[in-house]
Amino acid sequence: MRQIVLDTETTGLSAETGDRIIEIACVELIDRKLTGQHFHRHLNPERDSHEDALKVHGLTSEFLKDKPKFAAIVDDLIDYLRGAELIIHNAPFDVGFLNKELELAGRPVLQSFAGHVIDSLVLAKQMFPGKRNSLDALCDRLEVDNSSRTLHGALLDAQLLADVYIRLTRGQNSLAMDLDDTPADQSWAQGTDLSQLELTVVQASESELAAHESVLLDLDKASKGKTLWRTA
């Protein structure tokens, strides 16, 4: 499965009142592993950032004035995102800005060419109800190193979010079997003599056992010692 973790920085909080995207970053996951195939652009918004926004991202108008406009990179972005499942923290914010930029560039909305959007903030609120679920808070809770994050930057934030998302979703959704999928005709199993069948038992190697223990320790830390296998 191809997934794209996406983040933006903007001149302010409202695309509908003229704020624009000034940075967009995407990191690619295939089968839940980073590929290194990133998409990252700084953009000239043709306007100044609000003072509060500038304090967050630090991207000045002077720095952005020679960067490309969104219209110049839009087709490359569409090609990169096409068909991929998107992972975005507080997705309505970024999707709203992207759709406004796409509209201004004369392109269709994000949902017309990208796949399903997963809001990692919604996932975090379901897993940690009543707690702070900002990216920084999740990094602290899930032991993701964010020590280099002094200002918000779209590429660093996308990379951190990819790590956070993998840790949020590393468990199975359900251990239950779907009994409705059991074949109605089970005649294939009747009258079969299994008495002579020899099963091969493959023992785990020391490195595999160590890797397994490492995963269990990570899960134990993420649940703050509430895993049942540690308390049984």
| pTM for the predicted model, two decimal places | 0.72
- Percentage of residues in the chain with pLDDT exceeding 70? 81
Tally Cβ neighbours within 10 Å of residue 136. 15
Among 42, 57, 89, 152, the one annotated catalytic: 152
Considering the domain boundaries, does residue 115 fall inside one?
yes
Q: Can you give the residue range of the structural domain that contains 110?
A: 2-168
Q: Specify whether 152 is catalytic.
A: yes
Does residue 192 or residue 39 have the better pLDDT? 39
Considering the domain boundaries, does residue 201 fall inside one?
no
Considering the domain boundaries, does residue 46 fall inside one?
yes
- Label residue 5 exposed, middle or buried (CB < 10 Å: 0-12, 13-18, 19+): buried
- The residue-averaged pLDDT of 41-51 equals 96
pLDDT, the chain, mean:
86
Considering the domain boundaries, does residue 217 fall inside one?
no
Is residue 229 pLDDT above 70, yes or no?
no
- The residue-averaged pLDDT of 200-209 equals 75
CATH number, domain of 75, equals 3.30.420.10
Considering the domain boundaries, does residue 99 fall inside one?
yes
- Quote the pLDDT of residue 106: 98
Instruction: Locate the DSSP E strands across the chain.
Output: 2-10, 21-30, 33-34, 39-42, 85-88, 117-119
Considering the domain boundaries, does residue 18 fall inside one?
yes
Rounded Cα distance, 164 and 141, in Å: 10
**How many domains would you assign to the chain?**
1
Positive or negative, the CA dihedral 79, 113, 97, 152 is negative
Q: Which of 63, 76, 146, 79 is nearest to 114 (CA)?
A: 79
Convert the pLDDT of each residue in 155-175 to its tens digit: 999 999 999 999 999 863 332
